[in-house]
C-alpha cells in the first residue's frame, strides 16, 4: 500500500489514518495482533481501569436491523434486513491493569511501527481517583503505549464521578486531563460523550487541561425497542433494561454533526472521528470536516471481530480516491468542507430576500407576533 496513506497526528506517524476504536475488537492482545496484521494503522485498546468490572448477565451487544419493504426495526435476525445500528451496555475491560501491561509490551515489541493507544478510565471524586488516572497513565506508557485516550464518555456508569458523567462536566474534564498531563510523556486524546448540548465547551475544557486531540463520538444514549408480541425490551435481563449506547450506521450523521461543531469552532486542533464508519466514503466525511484520523467499532465487530475486510476496503478506497483526485496526502483534502458548515441564516433563500436568523432586525420576531404564521415560519 502506498506510503502516501500515512498521516501525522498528534506527533505520531500512522501507516494509515484508520484505527480500531476502543471496544471488543481491541479487548485482547490476540485481537490487536491480528488487527495490525490485517493492516490497521493503529488501535485504541478496550478501556483499561482500576476498579472491579462485572458485566450484565446476558448479551452485552446486539445489532438492530431494518427490513426494507416494511421498515420494521428489530434485533431479531432475518434475511434481507440491513444493518441499522449496534446497541450495547458493555462496561470497560473486565481484565485488570496487570493483565494488560505485559500484553501492551508484547504487542509493541511485535509491531513497533504501529500505533498503540491505551484507553484509560478512573473516577474523579477524590485525589485518590486522580492518582488512579496517573497510575494508569504511567504504567501504560512504561509498557509501551504511544498515546492515551481518556475515556470521559462511557455511557454506562452509575457513578457520578466516572465515564460520561466526567464528560458532561467541564471542570472535571480539565482536572482529569491535567492530572494525566502531569505525568504523560505521550500525547493525550480525550474521548468525549455526544450527550451534551454543546460539545465545543467540553472540548475547550479538555484542551485547557492539556489534551492534544479530541476523539468523538462515543455511542449515543438509547434504549432497545420493545417486541410488540412479548411486550419485552428486545434486550433485557429479567425484564429490566438500562440506557445503552447506539453505534453503527444510524449514528454517522449525528457524529458528523458533533465533528462539524468541533472542527468549525476549533479549526487548528486535532480530531479523531468515530461513528458509523464502514466504508471509505464514510471516513472521507470525517476527513473533509477536518479529522486527522478515524476510528471504527461496529463494522469491525461484524467482520471477523477485527475487521480485516473493512480495513482492506478503507485503504483501497482511500488509495483509489487519492489517485482519481490527484492528491498526494490526506493533508491536501483534510478540512476541505469545514467552512461549508454555516449558520442557517447564511444559507441562500430562493427569492434572495435577507434573513438574519429570526432576530428583531427583521421585524417579525417580536413578542406580540408569537403565533403568527411569519414567526412560525422562522422556526426550524
Ligand X SMILES: Cc1cc2nc3c(=O)[nH]c(=O)nc-3n(C[C@H](O)[C@H](O)[C@H](O)COP(=O)(O)O)c2cc1C
Active site residues: 154
Residues 88-107 that bind ligand X (CB under 6 A): 88, 90, 92
Q: Given the complex with ligand X, which of 23 and 75 has the nearer CB atom?
A: 23
Q: Given the complex with ligand X, which of 84 and 108 has the nearer CB atom?
A: 84
Q: Say which residues have a Cβ less than 8 Å from residue 293's Cβ, sequence separation at least 6.
A: 7, 9, 14, 17, 18, 19, 41, 42, 272, 273
| 42 touches ligand X by CB under 6 A | no
Residue matched to cell numbers 444493518: 83
Contact predicate 77/150, CB 8 Å: no
How near is the Cβ of 301 to ligand X at its closest, in Å?
7
How near is the Cβ of 22 to ligand X at its closest, in Å?
4
| 234 touches ligand X by CB under 6 A | no
Residue matched to cell numbers 476498579: 51
Residue nearest to ligand X (CB): 247
How near is the Cβ of 99 to ligand X at its closest, in Å?
15
| 50 touches ligand X by CB under 6 A | no
Among the listed ranges 16-24, 104-112, 228-236, 365-373, the one in contact with ligand X (CB under 6 A) is 16-24
Q: Say which residues have a Cβ less than 8 Å from residue 145's Cβ, sequence separation at least 6.
A: 45, 104, 108, 116, 117, 118, 186
| 218 touches ligand X by CB under 6 A | yes
Q: Count CB neighbours of 377 within 10 A.
A: 9
Among the listed ranges 130-138, 164-172, 273-281, 304-312, the one in contact with ligand X (CB under 6 A) is 273-281
Q: What is the dihedral of CA 306, 97, 87, 285, to 10 degrees?
A: -60
| 297 touches ligand X by CB under 6 A | yes
| 21 touches ligand X by CB under 6 A | yes
Q: Given the complex with ligand X, which of 191 and 204 has the nearer CB atom?
A: 191
Lateral strand order in the sheet of 220-222: 73-74, 61-66, 82-88, 244-247, 220-222
DSSP assignment of 176-224 equals: HHHHHHHH-SS-EEEEPPS-SS-HHHHHHHHHHTT-SEEEE--PEEE-P
How near is the Cβ of 362 to ligand X at its closest, in Å?
40
Which residues here bind ligand X, judged by CB under 6 A?
Answer: 21-24, 46-47, 60-61, 86, 88, 90, 92, 119, 151, 154, 191, 218-219, 247-248, 251, 274-277, 296-298
Amino acid at each position: 500500500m502506498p506510503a502516501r496513506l500515512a498521516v501525522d497526528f498528534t506527533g505520531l506517524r500512522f501507516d494509515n489514518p484508520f484505527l480500531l476504536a476502543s471496544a471488543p475488537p481491541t479487548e485482547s492482545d490476540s485481537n490487536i495482533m491480528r488487527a495490525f496484521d490485517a493492516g490497521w494503522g493503529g488501535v485504541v485498546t478496550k478501556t483499561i481501569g482500576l476498579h472491579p468490572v462485572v458485566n450484565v448477565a446476558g448479551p452485552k451487544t446486539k445489532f438492530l436491523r431494518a427490513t426494507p419493504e416494511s421498515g420494521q426495526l428489530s434485533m431479531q435476525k432475518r434475511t434481507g434486513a440491513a444493518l441499522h445500528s449496534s446497541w450495547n451496555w458493555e462496561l470497560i475491560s473486565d481484565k485488570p491493569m496487570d493483565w494488560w501491561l505485559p500484553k501492551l509490551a508484547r504487542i509493541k515489541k511485535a509491531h513497533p511501527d504501529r500505533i498503540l493507544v491505551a484507553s484509560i478510565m478512573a473516577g474523579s471524586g477524590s485525589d485518590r481517583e486522580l492518582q488512579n488516572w496517573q497510575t494508569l497513565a504511567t504504567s501504560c506508557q512504561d509498557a509501551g503505549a504511544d498515546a492515551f485516550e481518556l475515556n470521559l464518555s462511557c455511557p454506562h456508569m452509575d457513578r457520578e464521578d466516572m465515564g460520561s458523567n466526567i464528560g458532561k462536566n467541564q471542570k472535571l474534564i480539565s482536572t482529569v486531563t491535567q492530572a494525566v498531563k502531569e505525568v504523560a510523556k505521550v500525547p493525550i486524546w480525550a474521548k468525549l460523550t455526544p450527550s451534551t448540548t454543546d460539545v465545543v465547551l467540553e472540548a475547550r475544557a479538555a484542551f485547557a487541561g492539556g489534551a492534544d486531540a479530541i476523539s468523538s463520538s462515543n455511542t449515543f444514549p438509547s434504549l432497545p425497542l420493545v417486541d410488540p408480541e412479548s411486550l419485552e425490551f428486545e434486550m433485557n435481563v429479567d425484564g429490566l433494561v438500562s440506557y445503552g449506547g447506539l453505534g453503527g450506521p444510524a449514528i454517522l450523521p449525528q457524529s458528523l454533526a458533533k465533528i462539524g461543531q468541533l472542527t468549525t469552532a476549533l479549526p487548528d486542533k486535532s480530531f479523531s472521528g468515530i461513528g458509523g464508519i464502514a466504508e471509505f466514503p464514510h471516513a472521507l466525511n470525517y476527513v473533509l470536516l477536518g479529522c486527522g484520523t478515524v476510528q471504527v467499532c461496529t463494522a469491525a465487530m461484524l467482520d471477523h471481530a477485527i475487521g480485516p475486510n473493512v480495513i482492506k476496503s478503507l485503504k483501497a478506497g482511500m488509495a483509489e480516491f487519492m489517485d482519481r483526485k490527484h492528491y498526494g496526502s490526506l493533508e491536501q483534502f483534510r478540512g476541505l468542507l469545514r467552512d461549508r458548515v454555516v449558520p442557517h441564516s447564511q444559507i441562500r433563500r430562493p427569492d434572495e430576500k435577507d434573513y438574519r436568523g429570526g432576530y428583531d432586525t427583521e421585524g417579525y420576531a417580536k413578542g406580540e407576533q408569537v403565533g403568527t404564521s411569519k414567526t412560525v415560519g422562522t422556526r426550524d
